[in-house]
């Protein structure tokens, strides 16, 4: 193997340069001597170093050894879709097996190199657009290329760091909570896809709609669509009766529900119709109204401003609006649960069924 950076030696002193990033609970870039973004393309891996501004590409087969040659106190950022998903019979396109990925993380930790995973749905929507807007001298346009994505990952984390990163995985086993959330999403999608064709009049799922309408009529929520989106992630109906979704015989708590069912995190890949209704159709106008009261405009030409174009004041307003909105969401959940109890809701256990139907398959 020919190394692209023969000058990267472990006996070099690693002196962190001045870093303007914001320390977060998931990552503090100022604690690292270098921030490296890597992105996978057609049979090659592109990289970009935010501090030294070195860049290039290599073959898949060279990557693991190259990573282990990086200086200590280096932060490596890659999309979860590449170094967070192992190769299986169902995903042969992935370059590395679970054993290789787990082994790599162990060895990187031994060498004091940190690997973080970024939610791949945001590389273009947030990271690349932010870098092209704030650092046009580095990236002239937000056009997607593998090299641009590698640069976006490195520079965004180094200079903005406003999107949560995950630790590299130490195992790839099944997660009952994640499976439960996916099952609820499928059932919720069935309700919402059917009901929105009739403007939520309850023609297909009258009991769920009755529950949602009673909660909505009490006031304080953005719309009936918002409330039925919440209700559909908590309850289903069969043969004219309401049933609450349970996990291992219990109702999921608020944190479980927010994270694994509604997926109120940047890691919301395939979050379903309910999440789209809650975050795309309801939160944006909610944020706009709150921003307007502060004298801020978060629309440009009739369209909502992209995150990359928010001022610091607008970013603070969005953070504040999100905290408030989460409380509205949790209040809707609580009121749906109370109303369902008054309607004599039963239980619908999903996890045990999942274990039987998905045994032996991969995530």
Q: How confident is the model at residue 353 (pLDDT cuts 50, 70, 90)?
A: low
Residue 143 within a domain: yes
**Predicted pLDDT at 300:** 82
Which of 35-39, 107-111, 151-155, 165-169 has the least mean pLDDT? Answer: 165-169
Q: Which of 353, 201, 188, 203 minimizes the C-alpha distance to 272?
A: 188
What pLDDT score was predicted for residue 342?
97
What pLDDT is recorded for position 21?
58
Provide the pLDDT for residue 90.
75
Q: Assess whether pLDDT exceeds 70 at residue 95.
A: yes
Greater confidence (221 vs 10) lies with: 221
| Judgement on whether residues 45 and 66 belong to the same structural domain of the protein | yes
Quick one: 348 and 227 in the same domain? Answer: yes
Does 14 score more than 60 pLDDT? no
Distance of alpha carbon 224 from alpha carbon 63, whole angstroms: 51
Average per-residue pLDDT for the chain: 87
> Are 132 and 244 within one domain?
no
Is residue 186 domain-resident?
A: yes
| Domain containing residue 133: CATH number | 3.30.420
Number of domains the chain is built from: 2
Is there a single domain that holds both residue 214 and residue 313?
A: yes
230 and 83 both lie in a single domain: no
- Kindly indicate the confidence band of residue 307, based on its pLDDT and cuts at 50, 70 and 90: confident
**Share of residues in the chain with pLDDT > 70 (%):** 90
350 and 263 in a common domain: yes
Alpha carbon distance 161, 113 (integer Å): 18
Identify whether 10 is part of a domain. no
Question: Is residue 14 situated within a structural domain?
Answer: no
Output the pLDDT for position 140.
84
Residue 60 in any domain: the answer is yes
Residue after which a domain boundary falls, among 107, 135, 167? 167
Do 342 and 204 have their domain in common? yes
For residues 279 and 304, membership in a common domain is answered with yes
Residue 77 has pLDDT above 80, yes or no: yes
Q: Span 62-78, mean pLDDT? A: 95
**Which of 134, 167, 200 delimits the end of a domain?**
167
Q: Is residue 111 scored above 50 in pLDDT?
A: yes
Q: Do residue 154 and residue 123 come from a single domain?
A: yes
In this structure, the answer to whether residues 155 and 77 fall within a common structural domain is yes
Please indicate, yes or no, if residue 134 is contained in any of the structural domains.
yes
- Whether 185 and 322 map to the same domain: the answer is yes
Domain that holds residue 312: 176-357
Question: How many residues belong to the chain?
Answer: 363
What phi-psi label fits residue 17: left (phi over 0), alpha (psi between -120 and 50 degrees) or beta? beta
In a domain, 2, yes or no: no
Among 3-7, 32-36, 172-176, 300-304, the least confident range: 3-7
pLDDT of residue 135 exceeding 90: yes
* C-alpha–C-alpha distance, residues 74 and 67, integer Å: 10
- Determine, yes or no, domain membership for 4: no
Q: What is the pLDDT of residues 229-288, one digit of tens each?
A: 999 999 999 999 999 999 999 999 999 999 999 998 877 667 799 999 999 899 999 999
Q: For residues 192 and 274, is the Cβ–Cβ distance under 8 A?
A: yes
Residue 34 or residue 86, greater confidence: 34
Instruction: Say whether pLDDT at 84 is over 70.
Output: yes
- Looking up tokens 């603070």 gives 316
Q: Are 84 and 95 in contact (CB under 8 A)?
A: no
Alpha carbon distance 239, 241 (integer Å)? 6
**Rounded average pLDDT over 89-115:** 88
Q: Which of 126, 146, 167 is the last residue of a domain?
A: 167
State the pLDDT confidence band at 20, using cuts at 50, 70 and 90. Answer: low
Report the range of poorest mean pLDDT among 36-40, 167-171, 188-192, 332-336: 167-171
Co-location of 193 and 111 in the same domain: no
Whether pLDDT at 18 is above 70: no
Using the predicted structure, report yes or no on whether residue 358 has a pLDDT greater than 60: no
């Amino acid at each position: 193997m020919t190394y692209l950076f023969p000058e990267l030696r472990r006996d070099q002193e690693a002196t962190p340069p001045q870093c303007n990033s914001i320390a977060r609970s998931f990552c503090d870039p100022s604690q690292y001597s270098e921030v490296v973004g890597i992105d996978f393309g057609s049979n090659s891996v592109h990289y970009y170093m935010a501090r030294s501004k070195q860049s290039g590409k290599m073959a898949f087969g060279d990557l693991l050894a190259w990573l282990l040659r990086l200086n200590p106190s280096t932060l490596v950022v890659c999309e979860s879709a590449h170094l967070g998903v192992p190769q299986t019979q169902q995903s042969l396109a992935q370059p590395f097996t679970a054993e290789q990925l787990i082994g790599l993380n162990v060895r990187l930790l031994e060498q004091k190199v940190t690997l973080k995973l970024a939610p791949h749905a945001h590389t273009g929507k947030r990271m690349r657009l932010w870098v092209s807007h704030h650092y046009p001298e580095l990236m002239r346009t937000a056009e997607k290329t593998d090299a641009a994505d590698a640069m976006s990952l490195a520079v965004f984390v180094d200079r903005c760091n406003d999107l949560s990163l995950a630790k590299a995985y130490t195992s790839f086993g099944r997660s009952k909570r994640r499976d439960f959330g996916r099952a609820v999403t499928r059932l919720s999608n069935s309700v919402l896809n059917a009901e929105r064709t009739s403007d939520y009049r309850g023609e297909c799922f009258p009991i769920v709609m009755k529950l949602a309408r009673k909660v909505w009529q009490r006031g304080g929520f953005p719309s009936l669509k918002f409330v039925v989106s919440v209700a559909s992630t908590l309850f289903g109906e069969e043969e004219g009766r309401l049933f609450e979704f349970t996990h291992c015989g219990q109702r999921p708590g608020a944190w479980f529900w927010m994270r694994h069912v509604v997926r109120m995190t940047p890691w919301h890949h395939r979050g379903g119709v309910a999440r789209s209704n809650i975050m795309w159709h309801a939160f944006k106008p909610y944020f706009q109204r709150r921003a307007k009261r502060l004298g801020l405009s978060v629309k440009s030409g009739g369209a909502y401003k992209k995150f990359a174009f928010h001022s610091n004041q607008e970013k603070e307003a969005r953070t504040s609006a999100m905290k408030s909105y989460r409380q509205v969401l949790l209040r809707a959940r609580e009121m749906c649960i109370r109303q369902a109890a008054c309607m004599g809701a039963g239980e619908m256990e999903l996890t045990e069924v999942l274990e039987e139907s998905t045994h032996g398959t991969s995530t």
